Amino acid sequence: MLNKLKKNFSTDKIGLILALIVIVLIFSTFNPNYLSSTNMVNILIAASLTGLVAIAETYLIIAGLIDLSTGSVAAFASVLAAVLIQKGMGFIPMLLVVIVAGLFVGWLNALAVNKLKLEPFIATLATMSILRGMAFIICDGRPVYIMNKTFINFGKNRIFGLPIPVIILILAFIVFGVLLAKTRFGRSVYVVGGNKNAARLAGLNPQKITNILYMITGGLSALGGIILAARMSSGQPAASVGLEFDAITAAVLGGTAFTGAVGTIFGTVLGVLILQGFNTGLIMLNVPVFWQYVARGLLLLIALAFDYLRKQNREKKLLESSMKQS
C-alpha cells in the first residue's frame, strides 16, 4: 500500500498530508470540537476565498509571476456587488458585471507587466493600493449592507449538505487542476515559467499567457469577493487585508516553487487545508489576534524554507542525472 502511495504521490505530497493530519490531531486534542463535522465544513467555508485566490496564485507563480492585488480586488468586488444590488440590479447581472470588472483589473495588471515592462511585484503593488482606495471611495468608507435574499442565500444555502461557496471551491479546484495538468495551455504555463525565451522558440506567446493568467486571477478574486459579501451580508472595503499573502503561503506550502515551472493544484489544495486548518485552530484556542499574525508569518517563513530545500533537492537530482548520462 505504501509503495502504491509513493507511486501516485511525491514525497512532498505525502509530507503535506502527514502535516495536515498532525495539525488536526494537535488542535482536536486541545479542543474536541475541532474535529466535529460542523467545524470541518466551517473550515472549508472559510477556505473558499483563500482557495480561489490560491488557485490563481499557483498559476502565476508557476509562470514566474505574482499578484499582490488580489485582496484589494476581492474587497472592491464585495463593495461593488453590494452597491449594485442596493441600486436594484438583479443578482445574475451583478455577478457578471463584477466578474468582468475583475477580469478588467487583471488585464490592466498584465498591461503593466507586458507593455510597461514593470516587475509583477511593483505593478500589482500599485494596483493593490488603487483598488483598496477605490473600495473605500465608492462606499464612502462605510460597509454596504445587503438585503437581497438571493444574494444572501448564495453565501449560505446548501446543496447536498454542502454550502454553495464550498461547492464552487471544489469545482474550481477540479477544473483548474485538470486545465493545468492535462491541457496544452497548462503545459504552456510551465514552459513560460521555466524559460520565456525557450517558450518563444517553441512557438508560444508569453505575453498572451501572462494576460490570460492575470485575467483569471482578477476574475477568481472578484468571484471570491462576491462570495465574501454574500457570507457577511455586506460589502466591506476593509476586508481581505493580507489575503494575497495567505494565498501565496498556501501555494508555496503546497509545493509551488518561486523559481517557476514547478507546482500542482493538488499541492495547493493541501496547502489551503493546512493554512485554514491552522488559522481556525488558533481561533478556537482563543489565541490573541496579534499572535495569530505572528503565527501566519512564521508559517510563510516555513513555506519559503521548504521551497528552498525543494529547490536544492531538484538541483541535486538534475546534477546526478547529468553525471549519469555523461
Sequential pLDDT tens for the chain (326 residues): 334 434 445 667 888 888 899 999 999 999 999 989 899 999 999 999 999 999 999 999 999 999 999 999 999 999 999 999 999 999 999 999 999 999 999 999 999 999 999 999 999 999 999 999 999 999 999 999 999 999 999 998 999 889 999 999 999 999 999 999 999 999 999 999 999 888 998 899 999 999 999 999 999 999 999 999 999 999 999 999 989 999 999 999 998 988 899 999 999 999 999 999 999 999 999 999 888 889 888 888 888 888 788 778 777 776 777 677 66
C-alpha cell at 13: 505530497
* Residue 315: predicted pLDDT: 74
* Residue 259: predicted pLDDT: 86
* Residue 4: predicted pLDDT: 42
Q: Mention every residue, 6+ apart, whose C-beta is less than 8 A from residue 263.
A: 58, 61, 62, 251, 254, 255, 256, 257
In the chain, which ranges are E strands? Answer: 144-145, 158-159, 162-163, 234-235
* Residue 162 contacts residue 42 (beta carbons within 8 Å): no
* Residue 14: predicted pLDDT: 84
Q: How far apart are CA 321 and CA 193, in angstroms?
A: 22
Specify the pTM: 0.91
Q: How far apart are CA 47 and CA 324, in angstroms?
A: 45
C-alpha cell at 236: 466591506
C-alpha cell at 27: 488542535
* Residue 165: predicted pLDDT: 95
> Which amino acid, one-letter code, is at 233?
S
Distances (CA, A) of 261 to 58, 108, 174, 241, 279: 10, 24, 20, 28, 29
Strands 234-235 and 162-163: unpaired
Q: How far apart are CA 213 and CA 37, in angstroms?
A: 35
The closest alpha carbon to 129, from 71, 60, 82, 81, belongs to 71
Over the Cα atoms of the chain, what is R_g? Answer: 20
* Residue 103 contacts residue 218 (beta carbons within 8 Å): yes
For residue 324, count other CB atoms closer than 10 A to its CB. Answer: 7
Q: State the distance between the two ends of the chain, measured CA to CA, in whole angstroms.
A: 36
Name the β-bridge partners of 145.
234
**Under DSSP, is residue 70 helix (H, G, I), strand (E, B) or coil?**
helix
